[in-house]
Structure formats: C-alpha cells, structure tokens
A and B are shown apart, each in its own frame.
Chain A
Amino acid sequence: MPIPVDTYRLPNGLFVTLSEDHSAPIVAVNLWYHVGSANEREGRTGFAHLFEHMLFQGSEHVGANEHFELVQRAGGTLNGSTWLDRTNYFETVPSNQLAVALWLEADRMGALLPAMTQQKLDTQRDVVMNERRWSVDNQPYGTWWERLPALAFPPPHPFHHSLIGSFEDLAAASLDDIEQFFRTFYTPDNAVLTLAGDFDPATARAMIVQYFGDIPRGAGKPPLAPTVLPAKFNGWRREVVEDDVMLPRLYLAFRAPPFGSDASYAASVCGAVLGMRRGSRLHRALVREQEVASEATAFTFDLSKGSDLLIVDVTARPGVSVERLEAAVAEQIDLIRDTGVTTAEIERAVALIETDFVKAMQSAADRADKLSQFATYFGDPALVNVQADRYRAVTAESVNAFARESLGEDNRLSLIYVPRAGEAAA
C-alpha cells in the first residue's frame, strides 16, 4: 500500500512533504539540509559534523541543552546525523507535541547565531574529538571509512576527505566559520521538511507557515567540486594497513552507477546476491564451505552524486592468511562476472530487500527520513512508492551486465587491514 505523499513549497523555498498515518498518536518531524562534508572548505575537514553538534546548543529562544530537554520532556526521541552530502535532524513526538518540534526546528533554522558562543564551540569541538577517538582511532578497523573514500575518490573530489575530520582541522574551526556556514547552507531553500504520522494537514500547514514562513531565503551556495568520475577505477589498487587488529580484513570496492539510475538497482541487487545475509554467495562459499572467513558481506552505499561504490567486506578466520582470503574473494567475484547469476538468486535478493523495506516503513521516523531523502536528491518524495517496483524490475540480464562491466580487474580497489607485526594470529 502506497505511502501518502503531499508536497508543496513555501515562498522562501522550503520544500515540505506531508504524509499522514493515524495508526498511532505519534508524528515524525524530519529535516534534511542539502549540505555535508562535501561542502567543507579546505582546512576544515569535519566541520559539517561539528556544525551539526552546534545545532543542539540552543538558538535565540532556546537555551543551551534545552533542545534535547524539551523534546525528551515532550516524550520524544531525537537526533541528527551528518553524511557526505546531507545533514539530517529528526524527532518523533506524541502527536499533541508537534508544535514544539516544529518551533524548535524553526528557531534554529531562523535564529541560530545569537546563541553561538566560543565556549559552546570549544566544548563541542572536544566532544567531537572524543567521538573521533571512540569511533575511529580506538576501534579495530575504525579508520576504514576514512581510508576507503580517500582512495576511491581522488582529489579534488568532494568525497575524498575525512567526514569526521582531522584533529588539526577541528581545532581550527572558529565562530566565523559557524556564521559563514550557517548563512550559506542553513537556509529554507536548501532544506526539506517532512512530517509523517498523526497530524491534521490543515493545522500542520498553518503551523509550518507560522514557524518557518518568515525565515529568509538564502543567497545560494557555491557549487560542489565535480563529482563525475570515470565509470571504473581503471586499475586495481591495493593498500595494506597495519593496525591494532587480530584478524585480517579485506574491503574490496568497485565503482558503480549512481543511486537512482536503472543500473544502480542492478548493482544493488548484485551486492545483495554477493553478500546480503547467510544465503548470499560470499557467506555460503567463504564462511560455510571453505571456512576461510568469519564474516562476509557486500552492499552499495547508494550515493546519488557522480558514482556509487559496491563494497565487499570480508574478515579472515583465525589462521587464514590475507593472501588466501584475497584469492578466495577474487575467485567469487570472477565467477559472478564470468558466469552470471541465476533467477533464483535474484528472487532471493529482491524478496529480502522488499521485506526490509516494508519493515522499515512501519516506523514514522524511517518513513519521514526516506521521504526527505528522495525529496533532497530527486525533488520527488513520491519515488519512495516505486522503489519496490524498481527492485522487482531487476533481471538476471541487468545484473549480469553490471557484473561484466564493473566487477573486472580494471575496476577494483583493495583496502586491507593486517595485524601489526608480532600480533599476528597465526
């Protein structure tokens, strides 16, 4: 059953999607700003994410830490996240608290700067540095998500640099940067607002005009550096990293068509045939039959700008050398490229993708986020209702065409983690 979609735009450019569902007395409010780490200037890696933290530090009419407190007092859940090319902010609240959520979002979109102080910036800078230590520096394989994009997107590609940022660049961020970033990117015409759940459309529309209507349009944002890349890596680069890990791990990446194109659905299904769940080829061959891997998955990132990546992520079993692991993975990749997939494999993959999609759409927060995603990237949130059809339209022929074209040795990138000398688990 389709998800209801009603869209309109305020005069200041804010794109609004309303999606009613009265099955529970709750409503999700979701905002995507079309800005991410890709929009950072040189010397400011990590700034888009640091800025996301600052949006929880209050605004003209909201005290420090009050944003979290007001939503939680309302019985709501909330958070935000920063990605390469977007930043989202979201809360799910009891439906009688919709006004509070909208008012809070509008106050920080319209009037963030009066609340910004050096002390708040210094605190959040330290919090983010601790987030970096926790998720990247003090975690086995934690640097993979920095190293892989750095290799896959050569400079000056805007996805090349670190999303969480370097300590040096985080240290350099100033209040002037906050002001400039806010004025450039946090404008209603660079955002989409989605409501999903239990609300009265007429009331919601009136609230949205009341709270967001007077926020002025922005002056436009500078274009991203070009994101278009050759369709393939044109080679096979292999990077080996010695790290504080016990077992070797291989990330094998392939350049793939950008999310949204017909070919991207074939690439995504190919990823699922290879590495989604235990019935996938890699799990079956490497974990179950050959027993060379302890885990094996594959997936696409679903990047919609320029090109996407299909990534195979395989961890060795104790005692298995990285060379043996690499050879076993390559054998599976060559096999799918050379002999293709069966219709039954496609059906398994599509059935799993469809169930996951229905499961996710039960949640108001997930529905709102998906609607915002399609609104931001394609200007059309109703695309959420054709996703199942697009996956179902994938055939063995289209997957095989992708595999032949994109899984060859001329389109591979290996990022390999090995235990530091002396720590090897033999």
Chain B
Amino acid sequence: MTTAPRPTPGIPRDYAFPAIERSQLSNGMRVAVAHLPRLPLVTVLALVDAGASCDETGREGAASLTISTLGEGTTRLDGATLTEKFESLGTGLMSSNDWDDATTHIAVTPERLESAISLLGEVIRSPAFAERDVARHKAQRLAELMQQQVEPRGLADDKFAEFLFVPGSRYALPEGGSMASVRALDTAQLRALHVARYVPGATTLVFAGDVANARAVQLAERAFGEWNGAALPPAKVDDRVIDSGRRVHIVNKAGAPQSELRVGHGGVPRGHPDYFAIVVMNALLGGLFSSRINLNLRERNAYTYGARSAFEWRRGAGPFMVSTAVKTEVSEAATREILIEIGKMREEKVSADELSLATAYLDGVFPIRYETTNAVAEAIAIAQVYGLGDDYYTRYRERIRAVTADDVLRAAQSFLHPEKLLVVAVGDAAAIREPMEQLGAGSVSVHEAPAEDGAPA
C-alpha cells in the first residue's frame, strides 16, 4: 500500500508547435508544409473552400454529395480502379466536409508519396461524377436519413438545428441535406459546383510528416500546377435564430428508455475576439469531465452516462448546445439542472481554483493534441479556414493562460442567454410531456418523428 506523499510536478519541458512553411503556386494554390521526420509517414490534405455553407437554397446537401462522390472515379480511371490504386499504396482516400470547407486526405509512406499525390491531384481536378456513382451516393445519404429516424442522437442534433435557426437558413438543415433537398440533386449540379468551387485559388494543400518543404512544393506543382481558377467570395450564411424565447419541442419516440436532450441557443462566429474566454467558460460549464454540468448530471444525480456543452465553431454563428441522454423518468429534473447551471454561470465569478482547472488543462494538453501527422495537418487547415494567422498555435497557450475569472464571467453574461433557451427532447412524449410542461421553460409542443418527408418510400 502506498504511503508516498502526493507528488508535485517537475519543471515542464518546452514544446513548440511544428513550424509551418508556406508558399503559393503560380496558379494561386497555397501550399503549407510541416516537416516531421519522426516516422515514415506523410499526411497530405487538400482543403477546398467548398463546405456545406456554399449550398444554394433548395440544393442543400450538394457540397457533401460532391465531396463524397469525388473519389469515385476520374475522367481517366473508373471508381473501382482508382480505389484499388490508392489502397495498394496503403492508403484510403478520406473525404469529408463541414460547414466551411471540404477536405480530402491521404496518409502514406514517403516512397509512395509521389504516386499517391498524383492520384490525389487527378481526383481533385478531374473527377468523373458518373451518373451511377452520383445516384448511389444519393441513395446512401437517403438511407442514412431514413435510419436516423430511429437513431435518437443524430435526430436530436438535426431537430435542434431545425427548431433553432430561421426557416431558410442553411444552418437549419443538416450539412448533408434533407430528404427533399437530396432527392432533388442531380449530376449537373454537382459538376457545376465542382467547376465553380474546386479551383486552385480556393485550395490549400497541406503536408505534415516525413517530407521536406522543397520536395513537397515540387510534388504539389507537378500534381496541381496545370490547373486554373480563382476563388469565389466565401459563402455567407444567414445565421439568425428564431427569436421566440424559451420553448420546448418534444420529438416523440414512443417507449424510448431515454430522452436525448439538447438545450441551447445561437452561439458566436469562430472569428469572435472573445474566443478564448468563451472556450474557457464553456470548459468549466460543460466542456470537461469535471465541468459543472457533467458533475451535476452524472456524478451527483446519476441521471446520465455523460453530459457536455459546446459552442459549435463556424464562420457564421453556430449553435451553443448542451447535450445529454437521460433516463426517461428524470427528463424534466435533468433539464431543470441544466437550466440552473447555465444561469449560475452568469451570476458569479468562478474561483481562481476552478478557473485553473480549465486553463491548466487546455494549456497542458496542447502538445498531446498534435502527436500525429493527421492532427497537425488538420490544425493547419483550421487555421487556414478561419484566418487564424501563423502565430495562432505558437501563441495559443499564453492566450489560454491569460483568461481571467472576469473574462469568464463576462463571456457567460454576454454569450449565455437563459431567456432564449430552446429545449429539444427526443423521447417518449406520453411519459415526458406533462413533466416538461411543469418545467417553466416555455411552451411545449410535440412532434411525431419525421413523417411527411422521411416516410419510408
């Protein structure tokens, strides 16, 4: 049995975020390189300004469908052959998008880099968008939406956005689009989106790993040099929220043993100057395991397996949202505790001890976040998308340490709005409707799980 005294930490060793070398090809494409020769591995990430935010009204899901179909063949190679070529190099082409960008990345050993990047260039520049592949990916997105009707977590997230943002806001619909919008998409629209948005002026190629800058730039030039096009202005999303005060929406899942709860309101854009204060405030409210909301709902009341809060960072103002799943019987009690914790955060300054829980964690964990070539490449991409500047990662830790208890209180008072909270519960309406009406969190309306649009065809 240990009787050793509680240890104190030693002196921290220095850590520097990898240096980023930047250049630009003559066609306007940006190249960013972090040379990390530790292991024989290179991540190459093509970042294109073609996220879901650029979808036109009525064509929601086009950006997602474009990036997911992109790897299904080029004008020279059919999808099966292309996939086989990548995978024989030991890498799968991983493509995804979020609201503000579309990315395609590969991770390969250095001796396979040249072959892999030339294939990557072909994929980005001259995808085939064969009718059959587009139709298949459309059908897969529709299958996903169909399955989501009985998958409470994803359903709760999507319903929260639908009830939060004004009708017509791109943010009111899922990134991948709705049943109606996806059904309406066709190959010509994807091709048009690709021609307009997938251009060198809107693309950054990020290398992280065992490749030197000169070699990386040379490979980029070879794979992407003969390509032209200037960037369109970035898409602007209407991020206004429905301003109708507190309200509760129940999405019925008859007989569900748990309610998936989402509680929140509109948030702030990623470029907001109070970003660091908001991050620290949210860590204390619900971002950390030892946060107020998680300790209350999980460790004190045992209502849930876990509860968290988050500001979703986008170019526009994404949602602020508390998420948890609680036993049906305690749906009202758990929601009440969430409302109390949000309110308390605004009422008084956090103690120095509590503040340091978040600042010490965010400061200390920084080097642990960037162990892999993928993580470094993604970090460089995020800085590019949001224009965070080259000193962002070198200054991150000092800026976290500079956040004070006053900053946290001001962030809570400015960016948490108890009077505007929207509550969405996906659960058994027969069991939770009445208790939720007692909550005093506004009017309660009940919705059946998607029927009109989501009905099985």
- The residues of A with any CB-CB pair to B shorter than 8 Å are 1, 23-26, 60-61, 64-65, 68-69, 72-77, 92-100, 102-103, 106-107, 110-111, 122-131, 133-135, 137-140, 198, 210-212, 214-216, 244-247, 277-279, 284, 287-288, 291, 294, 315, 317-319, 344, 347-348, 351-352, 354-355, 358-359, 361-364, 423-426
Contacts and interface: CB of A to CB of B under 8 A. Distances in A.
B62 interface: no
B289 A139 contact: no
Interface in B354-391: 356-357, 360-361, 363-368, 370-374
B367 A25 contact: yes
Contact of B456 (A61, A210, A361, A425): A425
Given A74-B360, A138-B256, A424-B456, A127 B368 contact: no
Contacts of A25: 12-15, 367
A135 B304 CA distance: 12
A123 B365 contact: no
A284 B80 contact: yes
Nearest to B132: A291
A355 B107 contact: yes
Nearest to B456: A425
CB-CB nearest 9 A-B residue pairs: A75-B364, A351-B90, A126-B302, A99-B7, A25-B13, A96-B10, A355-B90, A425-B456, A131-B305
Given A94-B367, A288-B136, A355-B107, A246 B146 contact: yes
A61 B1 CA distance: 11
Interface stretch (B36-44, B48-56, B189-197, B431-439): B36-44
Chain B interface bracket (under 10, 10 to 19, 20 to 34, 35 or more): 35 or more
Contacts, number: 240
B28 to A, nearest CB: 31
Interface in B1-26: 1-4, 6-15
Given A123-B299, A354-B90, A198 B371 contact: no
Interface of B: 1-4, 6-15, 38-41, 79-80, 83-84, 86-92, 107-109, 136, 139-140, 142-144, 146-147, 149-152, 256-258, 288-290, 295, 298-300, 302-305, 325-327, 356-357, 360-361, 363-368, 370-374, 456-457
8 contacts: A61-B2, A72-B361, A76-B368, A96-B11, A103-B7, A110-B1, A127-B305, A133-B257
A106 B2 contact: yes
Contacts of A138: 152, 256-258, 325
A134 B361 contact: no
B142 A279 contact: no
Contacts of B40: 1, 358
Contact of A363 (B109, B290, B326, B372): B372
A348 B2 contact: no
A315 B1 CA distance: 52
Contact of A362 (B15, B39, B299, B367): B39
Given A24-B371, A130-B326, A100 B2 contact: no
Nearest to B256: A138
Nearest to B106: A355
A425 B256 CA distance: 21
Given A72-B357, A361-B39, A140 B147 contact: yes
Contacts of A424: 456
A362 B87 contact: no
A126 to B, nearest CB: 3
B280 to A, nearest CB: 13
A278 B457 CA distance: 27
In this complex, which of B41, B368, B372 has the most chain A Cβ atoms within 10 angstroms of its Cβ? B368
A127 B364 contact: no
A349 to B, nearest CB: 9
B17 to A, nearest CB: 11
B304 A288 contact: no
A318 B139 contact: yes
Contacts of B6: 61, 103
B306 to A, nearest CB: 8
Nearest to B357: A73
A351 B302 contact: no
Given A139-B151, A140-B151, A284-B80, 7 more contacts: A25-B367, A65-B290, A72-B361, A126-B302, A211-B4, A287-B136, A362-B39
Contacts of B357: 69, 72-73
A101 to B, nearest CB: 9
A357 B296 CA distance: 39
A352 B91 CA distance: 6
Contacts of B256: 138
Given A73-B357, A96-B10, A130-B326, A425 B371 contact: no
A198 B299 CA distance: 33
A72 B289 contact: yes
B90 A352 contact: yes
B356 A130 contact: no
Contact of B258 (A68, A76, A134, A364): A134
A244 B150 contact: yes
Nearest to A245: B150
Contacts of A73: 356-357, 360-361, 364
A97 B364 contact: yes
Contacts of A348: 84, 87-88
Given A134-B325, A138-B257, A288-B136, A355 B303 contact: no
Given A23-B38, A94-B367, A361-B39, A355 B304 contact: no
B41 A362 contact: yes
Contact of A425 (B80, B84, B91, B146): B146
B361 A317 contact: no
B448 to A, nearest CB: 14
Contacts of B90: 351-352, 354-355
Contacts of B3: 214
A110 B4 CA distance: 11
A278 B84 CA distance: 8
Nearest to A139: B151
B290 A75 contact: no
A358 B109 contact: yes
Contact of A359 (B86, B139, B363, B374): B374
A362 B4 contact: no
Given A75-B361, A355-B107, A92 B302 contact: no
Given A65-B290, A72-B288, A99-B7, A355 B302 contact: no
Contacts of A100: 7, 9
Nearest to A361: B39
B88 A140 contact: no
In this complex, which of A76, A131, A244 has the most chain B Cβ atoms within 10 angstroms of its Cβ? A244
A110 to B, nearest CB: 4
B371 A247 contact: no
A294 B150 contact: no
Contact of A214 (B2, B41, B290, B363): B2
